[in-house]
Structure formats: C-alpha cells, structure tokens
Structure 1
Amino acid sequence: MNIAIVKYNAGNTRSVLCALNRLGYEGVVTDDRTTLEKADRIIFPGVGEASTAMAYLREKGLDQVLVNLRQPFLGICLGMQLMCANSEENATKALGIFDAPVLKFRLDPEYKVPHMGWNTLSCKADELFSGLPHTNWCYFVHSYYVPVCSSTIASTEYGGQAFTAILHKDNFYGCQFHPEKSAESGERILRNFLEVL
C-alpha cells in the first residue's frame, strides 16, 4: 500500500511515520502532486499555525490538489482544521472541504488553553470506529476547535464547550486529536483508516 503524508512545513510527520511503522506500514512524506494523486491513502497531519501552513499549500498548488483527491484522506489536528472553511487563527481562509469554521477557545480562566491531555469521544456509527470499545480515550493538544456540525461523527467536551473530535464527508476524515499518540484507540482508528475504509 502506498501511503503519502502531506509535506507542508507543519510538524508531526515523524510521529505519524512511527505510528505507521508500528502497524507494519511505511509512508512517504511528500509535496509532490503526482505522488499524492497515485497514493492509496493520504494522511494530512500538522502541528503549527494555520496561515503559514495554508501559504505553503498555495505556493505549491496543493490547495487545489488536496480537495480533488478521491482516495481515503485523513487530516490530523491542524490538518483537520485546514480542511474546514476558515480559521480564526490569523483570519485564515482554508481548503473548504468541510463547511465549518475553526474557532478559538474562549473559556473560563480555570480551563487552560491549549486544551492538552486525554479526553473521551462520543461517536456515531462509522466504519472508522470498527472494533473500538464504547469509551475511547484520545490525546488532544489544540487552542482552536471546530463546533459540532453536520459532518461531525465524534465529539468531545472541554470546559463546558462541546466540539468536534472527528469530521467525515465522502472520502475525507479529520481528527482533532492525535491518533498516533492515542494508544490503543488511536491505533485502531489508524488501522481502520488503512484497512477498512
């Protein structure tokens, strides 16, 4: 299986590669259009800042390439946020795959931002969750969130604020948490992405 990890100067590619290796797969980090189009699976990870990341994608013409891919596609953290319509982070216009905004957490001072740590998911029925237990603990690190919307298939809550944990539309999935750092639950979600979808 050819697995392409989108290169766009956002961090976290190494931990994704390591997670793939634990599952018995290899991945290639690339910003090459042809490699992306021919891949069997696309992973769009990211730790960084929205406007800088989008500037790189536009410079490379990847903003047009990614939205037209038809193989299973998984965005992670910033990758998921860039799949949305826009982000409050530096007023960034994003890819628009999901018709949803990305908003900054505005919580009571007792709740620290970024939201960092383990949280449970409330999931709808979806092949991505095949074989998962009812309660799934996943690891989050983020200051911005996507409100629960029509594309939300898993949600969670922090500081009284419910928000999207996973988005799904057609071949596109997005995880706000880091499946590559989420122990057994994250490993199962990655395996399902690779083997079930």
Structure 2
Amino acid sequence: MKVVIIDTGCSNILSIKWAFKRIGYNTYVSCDPDIVLSADKLILPGIGTVKTVMKHLNKKKLINLIKSYKKPVLGICLGMQILGSNSEENEGIKTLGIINEPVLLMNYQNLILPHTGWNKIKFLSNNDLFKNIQDNSYFYFMHSYAMPLSTNTIGQFYHGKTFTAVMQKDNFFGVQFHPERSSKAGLQLLKNFLEI
C-alpha cells in the first residue's frame, strides 16, 4: 500500500510520518501531483494557517487533484478544516468545498483559545474508523477554529458547545484532533483508516 502525506507546508508532517512508522507503515511525503495521484491513501496534515495551506496547494496544482481523488483521504486538524467550504481565519478564505460547511472561530461563551489538550470524542456512528476504539476515548486537540455539527459529522466533542470532531463524506474523512499525538487510540484510528 502506498500512503502519501501531502506536503502542505505545515509543521506536523514528521510526527505523522513517525506515527505511521510505529504501526508498521512507511509513507511518502510529497507535493508532486504524479506521486499524490499514485497513492492508495492520502493524508492531508495541518498545523498552521488556512491561507498558507491553500496558497501552497494552489501553487503545486493540487486543489483539483485532491477534490477529484477517489481513494480514501484523511484530513488531520487543519487538513480536516480545508475540506469545508470556507474558513473565518484571515477574514474568510475559500477552501476545498468537499463538504458544504464553514469553519468558524470557536468564540462561544468566551472560551479559552486555542483549545489545547485532551478531550473526549462521542461517536455518532459505527464507522470503520472507530474500530477497536472505545466511545468517549480521549484525543489530543490544538486549534481555535472548528466545524459546526452537520450531516457529515460522525464524531463530536464538547468545548463550550458541541463541534465536529470527526467527519466523513464519501471517501473523505477528517479529524479535528491529532491522532499522531493521541496515544493508543490515535494510532488505532490511523491503522483503521489504512484498513478502510
């Protein structure tokens, strides 16, 4: 299996690569369209800004390629956020539009932002992504923006109110948290994704 982590210009790519190595999978890190297109599974990582990532993907001519990709894709944190329609970050940026949901600043009830640390996830489906992971398991978060709940939400978390923690639309999956920093549950989720 060829697993490609798209080089989005973000800072958590090596930690994701090492997480896959821990569960027995080698990965490629690339922004070359031919290599991306040849992947069996794609990972969209993200720690940084929406503006930087979208500018990088556009420069590398990857936007339409990702949108038309038919095999499983996993967006992590910012990588999930860019699957939405737009982001409030930097006064509003159009993103990939895989799902028709915005990403909004979590300014509900004067929350402390960024939302950093461990939080539990409530599963809303029996999705294969959750195989061998207990409901209400804890995962590690680090973000200030989030997607509201929608028909694509398959897992949710609470931070002042409920937000989307995990989403799926067709072959596109997204997690707001960092599985590569989420101990055994996070590694199991990555393994589950590769087995979909």
Same topology, TM > 0.5: yes
How far did 1:134 drift? 2.5
Query: Deviation string for 1:132-171 (max 9, x for gaps)?
Result: 1132110000000000001000001102x21000110111
* Secondary structure in 1 matching 2:89: coil
Matched, 1:146 2:130: no
Q: Aligned partners of 2:75, 2:164: CA distance in 1, in Å?
A: 13
One-letter code aligned to 1:134: D
What is the aligned partner in structure 2 of residue 19 from structure 1? 19
Cα shift readout 1:107-148 (whole Å, capped 9, x = no counterpart): 334x31000010111112111111111321100000000000
1:71-150 to 2 correspondences below 5 Å: 71-90=71-90, 91-109=92-110, 111-123=111-123, 124-150=125-151
Alignment correspondent of 1:167: 167
Give secondary structure in 2 for the equivalent of 1:43: strand
| Deviation (angstroms), 1:11 | 1.4
Post-superposition offset of 1:93: 0.3
SS of equivalent residue, structure 1 residue 5: strand
1:107 is aligned with what amino acid? Y
User: 1-side partners of 2:6 and 2:49: how far apart?
Assistant: 16
SS of 2:166's partner is: strand
* Between 171-180 and 56-65, the greater mean CA deviation after superposition: 56-65
2:176 is matched with 176
Which consecutive residues of structure 2, in runs of 5 or more, have no partner in the other structure? none
The number of residues matched between the two structures is: 194
* Alignment partners' CA distance in 2, 1:4 and 1:120: 28
Tell me which amino acid in the other structure corresponds to 1:113: L
Report the TM-score when normalising by structure 2: 0.96
Equivalent residue letter for 2:109: D
Which whole-Å CA distance do the structure 2 matches of 1:133 and 1:25 have between them? 23
2:84 aligns to what SS in structure 1?
A: coil
Task: Give the whole-Å Cα distance in 1 for the aligned partners of 2:98 and 2:137.
Answer: 26
> Displacement of 1:176 after TM fit?
0.2
Give the 3-state SS of the residue equivalent to 1:190 in structure 2. helix
What residue in structure 2 maps to residue 194 of structure 1?
Answer: 194
Counterpart position of 1:70: 70
In 1: Cα distance, 2:139 partner to 2:100 partner: 24
SS, match of residue 37 in structure 2:
helix
* SS in structure 2 of the partner of residue 167 of structure 1: strand
Structure 1 match to 2:7? 7
